[in-house]
Chain A
Amino acid sequence: MKTKLSLISAAILGASLTLGTLPAHASLPVAVDGQQLPSLAPMLEQTTPAVVSVAVSGTQVSKQRVPDVFRYFFGPNAPQEQVRERPFRGLGSGVIIDADKGYIVTNNHVIDGADTIQIGLLDGREFEAKLIGTDSESDIALLQIKADKLTAIKSADSDAIHVGDFAVAIGNPFGLGQTVTSGIVSALGRSGLGIEMLENFIQTDAAINSGNSGGALVNLRGELIGINTAIVAPGGGNVGIGFAIPANMMHSLVDQIIEHGEVRRGVLGISGRELDSKLAEGFGLDSQHGAFVNEVMPGSAAEKAGIKAGDIIVSINGRKIKSFQELRAKVGTQGAGSEVELGLIRDGKDKAVKVTLGEASEQTAAADELHPQLAGAKLESGSNGIEITDVQEGSPAALSGLRKGDIIVGVNRTPVKDLKALKEQLKEQDGAAALKILRDKSLRYLVLR
Chain B
Amino acid sequence: MKSTLLYLGKAVLFGLVMAAVFLLAQQYLVKDHDNLYRSHGEGTVELSFAKAVRKAAPAVANIYNISIDQRQPLASGALQGLGSGVIMSKEGYILTNYHVIKKADEIVIALQDGRRFSAEVVGSDPETDLSVLKIDGDKLPVVPLNLNSLPQVGDVVLAIGNPYNLGQTITQGIISATGRNGLSSGYQDFLQTDAAINAGNSGGALIDTSGDLIGINTAAFQIGGGGGSNGISFAIPIRLAYSIMGKLIENGRVIRGALGISGEAVTAYMAQVLKLPEVQGVLITGVDRSGPAAAANLLPRDVIIEYAAETVTSSEMLMDRIAETKPGTEVIMTVIRQGQPYKVPVIVGEKVAEYN
Instruction: Report the separation of the CA atoms of residues A205 and B49 in the bound assembly, to the nearest whole angstrom.
Output: 14
**Contact of A165 with B46 in the complex, beta carbons under 8 Å:** yes
**Contact of A220 with B47 in the complex, beta carbons under 8 Å:** yes
Q: Which residues of B contact A190 (CB under 8 A)?
A: 166-167
A19 within 8 A of B: yes
Q: Which residues of B contact A276 (CB under 8 A)?
A: 114
The one of B12, B163, B172, B226 that contacts A8, using a Cβ cutoff of 8 Å: B12
**Contact of B26 with A239 in the complex, beta carbons under 8 Å:** no
A28-B37 contact in complex given A8-B8, A162-B48, C-beta closer than 8 Å: yes
How many of chain B's residues touch chain A, expressed as a range?
35 or more
Q: A269-297: which have CB < 8 Å to B?
A: 276-277, 280, 288
**Contact of B15 with A8 in the complex, beta carbons under 8 Å:** yes
The one of B15, B18, B52, B114 that contacts A164, using a Cβ cutoff of 8 Å: B52
Instruction: Report the separation of the CA atoms of residues A219 and B38 in the bound assembly, to the nearest whole angstrom.
Output: 14
A131 within 8 A of B: no
Q: Which residues of B contact A12 (CB under 8 A)?
A: 15
Q: A150-198: which have CB < 8 Å to B?
A: 162-166, 183-187, 190, 193
Q: Which residues of B contact A299 (CB under 8 A)?
A: none
Most buried by B among A185, A205, A232, A288: A205
B227 within 8 A of A: yes
A18 within 8 A of B: yes
**Contact of A163 with B50 in the complex, beta carbons under 8 Å:** yes
Residue pairs across A and B with CB atoms within 8 Å: the count is 146
Q: Which residues of B contact A234 (CB under 8 A)?
A: 164, 198-199, 226-228
Instruction: Report the separation of the CA atoms of residues A236 and B164 in the bound assembly, to the nearest whole angstrom.
Output: 15
Instruction: Report the separation of the CA atoms of residues A219 and B46 in the bound assembly, to the nearest whole angstrom.
Output: 10
Considering the complex, give the chain B residue whose CB is closest to the CB of A32.
B29
Q: B10-58: which have CB < 8 Å to A?
A: 11-12, 14-16, 18-19, 22-23, 25-26, 29-30, 32-33, 36-38, 45-54, 57
A-contacting residues of B (Cβ < 8 Å)? 5, 8-9, 11-12, 14-16, 18-19, 22-23, 25-26, 29-30, 32-33, 36-38, 45-54, 57, 113-116, 158, 163-164, 166-172, 195-196, 198-199, 225-230
B-contacting residues of A (Cβ < 8 Å)? 4-5, 7-8, 11-12, 14-15, 18-19, 21-22, 25, 28-30, 32, 162-166, 183-187, 190, 193, 203, 205, 219-221, 232-237, 239-241, 276-277, 280, 288
12 extra interchain contacts, Cβ-Cβ under 8 A, other than A185-B170, A203-B166?
A: A4-B8, A4-B12, A164-B48, A164-B158, A165-B47, A205-B169, A205-B172, A232-B163, A235-B226, A239-B227, A239-B229, A277-B115
Nearest 6 A/B pairs, CB to CB: A240-B196, A235-B227, A11-B15, A239-B228, A288-B114, A164-B49
